[in-house]
Amino acid sequence: MGDDAMALWQEANRIEVLAFDVFGTVVDWHGSIVRELAQLAPAVDGDAFARAWREGYRPAMARVMSGELGWTLIDDLHRMILDDVLPRFGLAHLDEAQRAELNRAWHRLAPWPEVVAALQRLKPRYLLTPLSNGNIGLLTRMARRAGLPWDCVLSAEVFRAYKPDPATYLGVAKVFDLPPERVMLVAAHHDDLAGARACGLRTAYIERPLEFGAAHPKDVSPRPGNDLHCRDFADLAAQLGL
């Protein structure tokens, strides 16, 4: 996009807030969990373990959204899934302290390499916040450890609803007293972006082809509907004129 076109685009959209999906978009959950497991149980297939733990995420949330479970923090859902997964990988012997420490691996997820520097580029112009199903404690500890320069931390916990519930996307606009079109969701997942777009938010897709590990590359082809399609956060900053 040329400079003139970028200026017109920015004026037309007047985006003030960038809200970021976190797991897979900001942080490399797969690689981080693989590294954690390699320290704890090097004989276990870390790739399969990480994917199995993550695969339990949506079914667990569905139990809450259906009313089968009451409102539950993601930390607690992660622990429920972990207790189910461990026997499948020969790790049923882990004691309570070991299980609790492993469950906190989600607080220690590492950002993708370009993320922190790109967020620092974006911060002078935009308000930056995560919009994640992760709970506030998880996201805050993650940000502190990784150096993520959020202006605040917004979570499903704030709205007591998981994405893609409209309450989450519209909740960001309400927090900042803005119309939805002045908020942009940045995410590596098309279903998340579709939910935001349906609520009137702007959307930017981030390619994360290795989200599920090098052995399981993800299709990151452009899809219609998103305002921006970006290789990574550095490209996002560049496309926003920074």
Residue range 97-116, pLDDT digits in tens: 999 999 999 999 999 999 99
Q: What is the pLDDT of residues 114-165, one digit of tens each?
A: 999 999 999 999 999 999 999 999 999 999 999 999 999 999 999 999 999 9
Mean pLDDT of 191-199: 97
Q: What is the pLDDT of residues 35-93, one digit of tens each?
A: 999 999 999 999 999 999 999 888 888 888 888 888 889 999 999 999 999 999 999 99
Predicted TM-score (pTM) of this structure: 0.92
Whole-number Å distance between alpha carbons of 126 and 16: 5
CA 60 remoteness from chain centre: 17
Q: How many CB atoms lie within 10 A of CB 127?
A: 19
> Which domains are delineated in the chain?
3-28+110-239 (3.40.50.1000), 30-107 (1.10.150.240)
| Residue 76, token pair as written in the block | 């607690």
Rg over CA atoms, the chain: 18
Task: Give residue 9's pLDDT.
Answer: 54
